[in-house]
Structure 1
Amino acid sequence: MTDKPENPSTSQDEEKGASGAASPLPSLPLSPASSASPASPESPSPRENWSFPKLIALITSILILLLFGNYARKTHQHATHPKLGHNCTLPTRRYDIYTGYASCTPSSGGTWISPLGPLELQHLSINRFSSTERSQNREGENHFCQQLRQFGGSWYGPGALNQLWTGDTCNELSALVPEVAFRREVGFPADGGVWVLTESKRGFPEGMAMVRNALTMEERCSALETLGAVWCESVQQCPALWDLGREPHRLVPRGFRKGISAMWSW
């Protein structure tokens, strides 16, 4: 029995199949969609795109807050420390509710200014809750000045107007130096007379809060008596009120008179 010869083509195919199973598969090229494209260094992120505008907005907000704060501070200072007047002059009202000063202009010249409390305002028949305009009647204004001077205060001559301006700034009243000043506390008891407590070279005695805390004129007089005030039968006969017998410009110390001699005849 003869063997059947092998088919050469069949053996070749088997060899090809065997060799094909053993050989690795060829790598296929990736499509552009599936390939990982490298990140471009030139393209900024969204956070980087918004960083500069946000920085500008932040700086602008800070500048606005600083400008507004400066304006509010100046407005507060103007309200707390008012200037002498809208036109930078000495007080022109009998009483100004915004400054707490009472003032008058005697016919002899100048301006008399006194800081008054509620009991003093009440004694002078001045409204404590609103400003009061000055009297246009010369006799009435002189009479009010004489009453106002009983409570002490300061007198500013016509030359004080030159002290108001420093460059382009209007000074406050506390920056001016008066030519005449008297510091005293006065009380008028109901049964007549007057209590006068004058400041000494060492100042007022301790316990002056008693005078400020008085709710009535009688309490004020009692406090003044406790602190060592002088009692007089009348204002006209009171040595402690000697200055009321002279016009303010006559009370100016000799050192000041040289500066105002051209405005006053002696």
Structure 2
Amino acid sequence: MQPDPSSGVNVAMYREPYLSHDPNTRTEFLPLSCKTTAYPSSGGIVLGYFSAVELAHLDLSRTKQANRSSDPVEEDDLALRMLHLGAHWWPNWRLYAHHQERILEGILYDFHFPPHVNVGYPSSGKGVWVFKFSADERIWDEEDQRKPYLDRKPDDWDGRINMALTMNERCDVLKDFGATFYEDVEDCKDIPTTLRKGVEERRRYEKHLRKMEDMKYVDEWLSGSEIGRDAKDYARLRYIA
């Protein structure tokens, strides 16, 4: 959650790193994670916010900022490995930042915005743990007719997940939070097997994000009147998101 302005914290300074981006930068260290970006040759960006354990898994420095590579093969390789850790593909930074800012302002997105996908790989090399929560920052009001399909981030999430020193410890934390274990990674719809599939999966969100530009739609959706019209898309996104 963003800080309460009444606390004296500079809210604009807190939000700025999440909404601005240098296209030459690979990693940027934030208070609770490292913003990491890859630039696949097919276009767009792959964006993830990673812990120290995940950076080590990606063979990225946990202490020094890195810049993007000029080698498209290297960028594609990192992009896929980031997708395997729950990162998302976006057509451009502008689309992500615009809707992320609205979420920070308290607008509820639910299935319209990709969820946070948190992944852990046991050192045995067998299977994967996956735990997801909504990108929404604000708690849903009791009078809202619609109810979220995913819970918000647990209050103690950042404190506990950032204490993990190894991938096995990360898996243990994910398990404690109720993560799902897949014996075969290919059975998990949140982890694409190829870069192309990862891009295709995330393109599905674009039309839903466009709908969220219309506040009339947002009001009708929250009241429940749009659920019939979007029933198929809603059901599908509940499955993949």
* Shorter-chain TM band: 0.5 to 0.7
Q: Does 1:182 align with 2:99?
A: no
Q: Contact 1:111 / 1:156 at 8 angstroms: preserved in 2?
A: yes
**Aligned amino acid, residue 202 of structure 1:** D
2:86 to 152, 169, 178: 152
Taking structure 1 as the reference length, the TM-score comes to: 0.52
Q: Residues 17-71 of structure 1: CA distance to partner in whole angstroms, max 9, x if unpaired?
A: xxxxxxxxxxxxxxxxxxxxxxxxxxxxxxxxxxxxxxxxxxxxxxxxxxxxxxx
CA distance in 2, matches of 1:93, 1:159: 13
Q: CA deviation at 1:102?
A: 0.2
Which fold has the larger relative contact order, with Cα–Cα distance below 8 Å and residues 6 or more apart in sequence?
Answer: 2
Match of 2:166 in 1: 216
What TM-score, normalized by structure 2, do the two folds share?
0.57
Partner of 1:247: 199
CA-atom RMSD in angstroms = 3.8
Per-residue deviation, residues 184-225 of structure 1 (Å, max 9, x unmatched): 211111101211111252224565343232222111111212
Cα distance between partner residues in 2 of 1:136 and 1:161: 24
**1:125–1:105: structure 2 CA closer, same or farther, 3 Å change rule?**
same
State whether residues 129 and 182 of structure 2, in contact with CA within 8 Å, keep that contact through their aligned partners in structure 1. yes
CA contact (8 A) 2:21 2:93 kept: no
For residues 67-103 of structure 1, the C-alpha deviation after alignment (integer angstroms, 9 at most, x for no partner) is xxxxxxxxx9897665589xx7554322123683100
Q: Which runs of 5+ in 1 are unaligned?
A: 1-75, 165-172, 259-266
1:81/1:247 CA distance change after superposition, 3 Å: closer
Match of 2:152 among 203, 207, 223: 203
SS in 2 for 1:236: helix
Of residues 43, 52, 70, the one that matches 1:136 is 70
Residue 198 of structure 1 aligns to a residue in which SS? strand
**AA partner of residue 96 (structure 1):** E
Does structure 2 retain, via aligned residues, the 8 Å contact 1:194–1:234?
A: yes
Residues 176 and 125 from structure 1, CA distance in 2 versus in 1: closer, same or farther, beyond 3 angstroms? farther
Query: Is contact 2:58–2:81 with CA below 8 Å preserved after alignment?
Result: yes
Gaps of 5+ in 2: 1-9, 104-108, 134-148, 212-241
Q: In structure 1, the residue corresponding to 2:54 is in which secondary structure?
A: helix
Q: Which moved more, 1:119-128 or 1:92-101?
A: 92-101
The answer for the alignment partner of 2:26 in structure 1 is 94
Q: How many residues align?
A: 175
Work out the CA distance in 2 between the residues paired with 1:256 and 1:94: 26
Change (3 A) 1:129 1:176: farther
Matched, 1:116 2:58: no
Alpha-carbon distance between aligned partners in 2 of 1:97 and 1:82, rounded to the nearest angstrom? 13
